[in-house]
Amino acid sequence: MRATRVMKAFRPSRRTWLVAMLVLALALTVTAAASGCGGTEETATTSVVQSDLVLASTTSTQDSGLFDTLIPAFNAVYPQYTVKVVAVGSGEALKLGETGDADVLLVHSPAAEKIFMDNGFGLERKAVMYNDFIIVGPAADPAKIKGMTVAADAFAAIAKAEATFFSRGDDSGTNAKEKTIWKAANVTPSGAWYQTTGQGMGETLTITDQKGGYTLADRATYLSKKASLQLEILVEGDKALYNQYHVITVKAAKNGQGGIDFMNWIASDSVQKDLIATFGADKFGQPLFVPNAGQVE
């Protein structure tokens, strides 16, 4: 009967079954061994009680790869914390701080941070590092903003030319900075050319690159993605593009001590000079962040 012939064609022979089972068993043992090995190594060197430390930070610090350097270094000094980095926009990070879903924040949205502190959600707020924002766009530069020194002027030119501009639109620090520049330019961006992605810096840069538009980006994320982008830096250096990061310990934190330890660690001299000041220098030819703990408010 055709039906059974069809079904028999799909039923593997006994040998095929055996081989498939063997491969599956092998794969499972290898994965178990790999994770098991990692686990025993950890408990062998650190017989301390692990506690979770939730660090809510911006997508820009995550996308630049800074945490891949910082977190292991932090764990070397404080092995008792299992750091969970939640990379969301600064707005969302501050919300997580309000509800205690995060223990410590690393954000770059100063106006929103001040409101956060004024409302009593934070314990302490310290400056950590700064870098800058840049306006990136296609080499063809239809809005002719290349070399402009005032960010607001560049934005005004983009609006006038109705050149495609991608906004993150996600309440992040970058988005907040973008809104201040539009305000300074006296422009309310609207129209088919002003598009919102609702996503992080990395994704927004990809979309901007693929569509040949303009966007505001932090230098760190841009440099870390540069190899896959055709976008160019068109405007930089304006004081308005200054990008300051702060670390904030949170009142409602579940792991308050962990938050305080992280804050003190990241503001400490050795971390500032050895880790942050040099991060990215070998890979990108220039450090991505400039440490300034204790130098500014």
Partner 1 sequence: MSVFWDAIKQAVALVVSGDSYVFGVMWMSLRVAGTATLLGMVVGIPIGSWLALRRFWGWGAAATVLNVGLMLPPVVVGLFVFLLLSRQGPLGSLSLLYSPTAMIIAEFFITAPVIAAITMGGVGSVPKEVRLQAMGLGASRWQTTWLVLREARVTLLSGIVAGFGAAISEVGAVRMVGGNLSVNGHNMTGTMTTATMALVTQGNYAMAVAFGLILLLLAFVITFVLTRTQQGIRRRWLQS
Q: Which of 259, 263, 279, 253 is nearest to 128 (CA)?
A: 263
Q: Which of 45, 190, 227, 239 binds partner 1 (CB under 8 A)?
A: 190
What is the C-alpha R_g of the chain?
Answer: 24
- Is 194 among the residues that bind partner 1 (CB under 8 A)? yes
Tokens describing residue 140: 């063809």
| 97 lies in the site for partner 1, by CB under 8 A | no
Per-residue interface string for the shown chain with partner 1, residues 4-23, x marking contact by CB under 8 A = --xx-xx-------------
- Contact between 197 and partner 1 (CB under 8 A)? yes
Instruction: Name the minimum Å distance from CB 150 to partner 1.
Output: 26
CB 113, min distance to partner 1, A: 16
Determine the residue type at 244: Q
Q: Which two tokens stand for residue 280?
A: 């990215």
208 vs 272, which CB is nearer to partner 1?
Answer: 208
- Which residue number, 230 or 286, has a Cβ lying nearer to partner 1? 230
Query: b or e along 17-43 (b: 16 or more beta carbons within 10 Å of the residue's beta carbon)?
Result: eeeeeeeeeeeeeeeeeeeeeeeeeee
- Report the half-sphere exposure of 178 (CA within 13 A, side-chain side): 23
Whole-angstrom distance, CA of residue 123 vs CA of residue 61 = 22
Q: Which of 58, 70, 90, 91 binds partner 1 (CB under 8 A)?
A: 91
136 counts as binding partner 1 under rule CB under 8 A: no
The tokens describing 110, both together, are 């100063």
- One character per residue 214-243, x = contact with partner 1 (rule: CB under 8 A): ----------------x-------------
63, 92, 218, 261: residue in contact with partner 1 (rule CB under 8 A): 92
Contact 127, 246 (CB under 8 A): yes
Q: Is residue 210 part of the contact set for partner 1 (CB under 8 A)?
A: yes
Q: In terms of Cα–Cα distance, which of 135, 189, 136 is closest to 162?
A: 189
**Interface contacts to partner 1, rule CB under 8 A:** 1-3, 6-7, 9-10, 88-89, 91-92, 95, 169-171, 190-192, 194-200, 203, 207, 209-212, 230
